[in-house]
């Protein structure tokens, strides 16, 4: 039974990822850029270090690290990151990863709740690598995580199919303003692969309802979504969180572009809303529309440049094509942006 299941997964993923395999075999990420990223953020144990957040590691970072290792065509690095992930984070009894690992305390896992975007990124990268490199054990692990997400994190509320940010703490029974979602947790490029790993119509509904929500989330004068959104009634910024388009939401346009979602109106609205002083992105106070924190790192600025590439064919400026790692999060976004343009829009380079 297991062998049949693995063969079915291999066949399904292979069809979907033919282009990605070719890109990975030729390394969509420049080897020098990947070497610089590893030197800055990947430790000897295989954990991706978030140097902007007290040097913790988390399931999101491990998922991103796996995906970047795949896009760099680096099987040994991928296995190193996967070893830490499976031995240090995949400790829950439901098949999902604990989200936080802190080197400063013992035990290192200080919060056993999951982060559903991290789980999805891990499963997605495992599926791509397992297909490209003929590693059935990666495909089996990916299928288990995808099924766990479907069983525990994909839920129905208010006539919508939603992705809970974590299993605990976000439902209507747990919060007065629940359910609460984070629209940046929808990794749109990964969802079709989840549907191959754990077949269900719910995945397509998750994509459709996520996009519908994004189109409806037009808060304040800049018409932007909040990082954390209450869906108790109509979408609004969730209680207890900053009412802002913040560091979470900045990646939404990149996710839309990488997934090939052809909604130019949505992309340009997000781009315009998060930009000030010409082409500088910022976190935005939703009530006033005023910028809160300029996002000057190339890893943030590349999000606008990727949107300009896919909507108008504009070339990426030299300032974002050069990769010099700084903080974990923008550096990760920059490599994801560069890999996407290298694979799908080389005319923008």
- Give the pLDDT confidence of 139-192 residue by residue, as tens digits: 999 999 999 999 999 999 999 999 999 999 999 999 999 999 999 999 999 999
User: Are 127 and 193 spatial neighbours (Cβ–Cβ below 8 Å)?
Assistant: yes
Instruction: Give the mean pLDDT per block of 10 residues along the chain (349 residues).
Output: 51 49 69 98 98 98 98 97 98 97 96 98 96 94 97 97 98 98 98 96 98 97 98 97 98 98 96 90 98 97 97 97 98 98 96
Q: Dihedral through CA 308, CA 336, CA 184, CA 165, nearest 10?
A: 170
- The reported pLDDT for the residue numbered 336 is 98
Q: Dihedral through CA 202, CA 136, CA 144, CA 97, nearest 10?
A: -120
Beta strands in the chain (DSSP E): 57-58, 100-101, 109-111, 154-157, 160-163, 180-181, 229-230, 236-237, 244-245, 275-276, 280-285, 291-294
Give the integer Cα–Cα distance in Å for 3 and 172: 40
Give the integer Cα–Cα distance in Å for 347 and 218: 32
User: Are 303 and 253 spatial neighbours (Cβ–Cβ below 8 Å)?
Assistant: yes
- The reported pLDDT for the residue numbered 23 is 44
For residue 54, report the phi and psi dihedrals to the nearest 5 degrees. 60, 25
Pull the structure tokens for residue 245. 């388009």
Give the integer Cα–Cα distance in Å for 243 and 231: 14
Query: Using alpha carbons only, what angle is made at residue 185 by residues 119 and 69, rounded to the nearest 5 degrees?
Result: 50
Q: Where are the alpha helices (DSSP H) in 223-293?
A: 252-258, 264-273
Give the integer Cα–Cα distance in Å for 178 and 38: 39
- The reported pLDDT for the residue numbered 4 is 43
For residue 179, report the phi and psi dihedrals to the nearest 5 degrees. -75, 150
Give the integer Cα–Cα distance in Å for 261 and 201: 19
User: Are 41 and 49 spatial neighbours (Cβ–Cβ below 8 Å)?
Assistant: yes
Closest CA to 184 of 116, 98, 112, 101: 116
- The reported pLDDT for the residue numbered 13 is 57
Question: How far is the CA of 106 from the CAs of 101, 102, 146, 201, in angstroms?
Answer: 10, 8, 29, 42
The residues that are catalytic are: 60, 117
Q: Which residues touch 222 (CB under 8 Å, ≥6 apart)?
A: 245, 272, 273, 274, 284, 286, 289
């Amino acid at each position: 039974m297991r062998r049949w299941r693995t063969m079915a997964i291999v066949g399904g993923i292979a069809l979907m990822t033919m282009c990605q395999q070719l890109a990975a075999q030729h390394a969509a990420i420049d080897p020098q850029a990947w070497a610089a990223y590893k030197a800055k953020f990947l430790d000897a144990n295989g954990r991706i270090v978030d140097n902007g957040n007290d040097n913790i590691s988390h399931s999101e970072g491990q998922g991103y690290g796996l995906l970047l290792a795949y896009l760099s065509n680096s099987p040994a690095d991928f296995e190193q990151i996967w070893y830490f992930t499976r031995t240090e984070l995949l400790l829950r009894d439901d098949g999902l990863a604990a989200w936080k690992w802190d080197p400063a305390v013992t035990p290192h896992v200080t919060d056993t709740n999951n982060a559903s975007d991290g789980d999805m990124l891990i499963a997605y990268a495992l599926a791509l690598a397992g297909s490209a490199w003929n590693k059935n054990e990666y495909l089996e692990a990916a299928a288990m995580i995808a099924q766990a997400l479907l069983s525990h994190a994909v839920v129905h509320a208010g006539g919508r199919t939603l992705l809970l940010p974590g299993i605990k703490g976000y439902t209507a029974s747990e919060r007065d303003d629940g359910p609460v979602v984070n629209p940046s947790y929808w990794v749109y490029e990964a969802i079709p692969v989840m549907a191959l790993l754990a077949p269900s119509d719910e995945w397509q509904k998750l994509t459709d309802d996520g996009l519908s929500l994004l189109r409806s989330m037009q808060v304040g004068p800049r018409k932007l979504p909040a990082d954390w959104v209450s869906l108790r009634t109509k979408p609004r910024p969730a209680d207890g969180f900053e009412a802002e388009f913040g560091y979470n939401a900045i990646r939404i346009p990149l996710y839309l572009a990488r997934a090939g979602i052809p909604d130019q109106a949505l992309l340009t609205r997000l781009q315009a809303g998060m930009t000030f002083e010409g082409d500088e992105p910022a976190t935005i106070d939703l009530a006033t529309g005023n910028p809160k924190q300029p996002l000057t790192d190339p890893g943030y600025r590349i999000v606008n440049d990727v949107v300009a590439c896919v909507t108008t064919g504009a070339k990426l400026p030299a300032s974002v094509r050069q990769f010099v790692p700084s903080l974990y999060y923008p550096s990760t976004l920059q490599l994801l942006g560069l890999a996407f343009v290298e694979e799908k829009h080389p005319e923008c380079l």
